[in-house]
Amino acid sequence: MNKLFKGMLCTVALLGFTGLAQAAKYKEIEVSDGGSISGKVMAGAAVEKTKTFTISKDPKICGEGSREVPLVEINKNGTVKNSIVFLYKVKQGKAFPKELMNVTINQKKCEFTPSFSVMANGGKLTAVNSDATLHNIHTYELIGKARRTAINVSQPNAGDKVTKKIKMRKGAGMKIECDAHDFMHAYMFVAQSPYYAKVGENGEFTITDIPPGEYKIRLWQGFLGEIKGGKVKVSTGADTKIDLSF
C-alpha cells in the first residue's frame, strides 16, 4: 500500500472520528414545545453507609480525633440525600444555566465546601485552598467501579487557586479527594445536558423544557453510581409522571 493511499485512509478515519465526536456533543436550541417529567425517588435497596477516618495531620487546622464521612445518607422519609435524576444521552435542548459553567470548591478546615455540587460537562472548576497547609486536590471521573484522574494539583499555600476545564468521557460524576488528607471527601455530578434534577428531601423531582420524544432516565448518587430507570415518553406541553428507586 503506497504512502498516499495510507494517508488518505488516515484522513478519512480522522474525519469520521471527528464527525462522531461532534455528533455526540450536546447542542443548545430554543425549546418552545417542551414537556416535563416529574415524580418521586425512594431509597429502595440503598442503605445508609459511612466511613470513619482518623484525623492524623494538622490538628490545629483540621481538628482532632476522627471524622465520619457519609457515603450514602438516607433521610427519615426513605429518600436518598444528594441524589440526581437525569436523562441519558440527550442530543439537544435548552441551554445550560450559567452557574453550572463556573463552579468553585473551597478547602477550609480540611473540608471540601460544598461537599456535594453540580457542574456542566465542559465547564470550569476552581479549587481554592483557604488553609495554611498543603492540600492536593485530586478528582476522579467515576466510570462504574473504575475511576480516571481528572485533576491532580498540589496547593501548598493558603490562597492558592487552580482552575481547570472538566471534560468527562463516560462517567456521570466525580469523586473529590485530597492526597494530603485522606479524610477529605466530596462528590460532584457532572451534567452532560441540563436535563437533570437534584432530588429534594421529600424525594420529589421535576425536569422541565424537554423536547418531545422518548428518553432513557437514570438515577445517580456518588457512592451508589448510576442506576438505570428505563424509558420515558415526553409529549408537547404535558407532564409525564414516573416514580423511581435505587
Q: Please name the amino acid found at residue 78.
A: G
Tell me the mean pLDDT in the region 208-217.
98
**pLDDT value, residue 3:** 45
- Which residues does 92 contact at the CB level (< 8 Å), separation at least 6? 26, 27, 28, 29, 211
Tell me the mean pLDDT in the region 154-176.
96
Instruction: Give 24's pLDDT tier (boundaries 50, 70, 90).
Output: low
**pLDDT value, residue 25:** 85
**pLDDT value, residue 202:** 95
Whose cell is 478515519? That residue is 13
In this structure, what DSSP letter does residue 17 have? H
At residue 10, does pLDDT exceed 70?
no
At residue 232, does pLDDT exceed 90?
yes
The sign of the torsion formed by the CA atoms of 141, 186, 99, 192 equals: positive
Average pLDDT, the chain: 91
Element containing residue 152 per DSSP (H, E): strand 146-155
134: left (phi over 0), alpha (psi -120 to 50) or beta: beta
Would you list the DSSP string of 183-204? Answer: EEEEEEEEESSS-EEEPPTTSE
Phi, psi of 8 (to 5 degrees): -65, -40
Task: Report residue 192 as a C-alpha cell.
Answer: 452532560
At residue 169, does pLDDT exceed 60?
yes
Tell me the mean pLDDT in the region 168-183.
96
SS3 30: coil
At residue 183, does pLDDT exceed 90?
yes
Residue spans of the domains in the chain: they are 27-245
For the domain made up of 27-245, give the CATH fold: Immunoglobulin-like (2.60.40)
Report pLDDT digits (tens) over 117-143: 999 999 999 999 999 999 999 999 999
The predicted model scores a pTM of 0.88
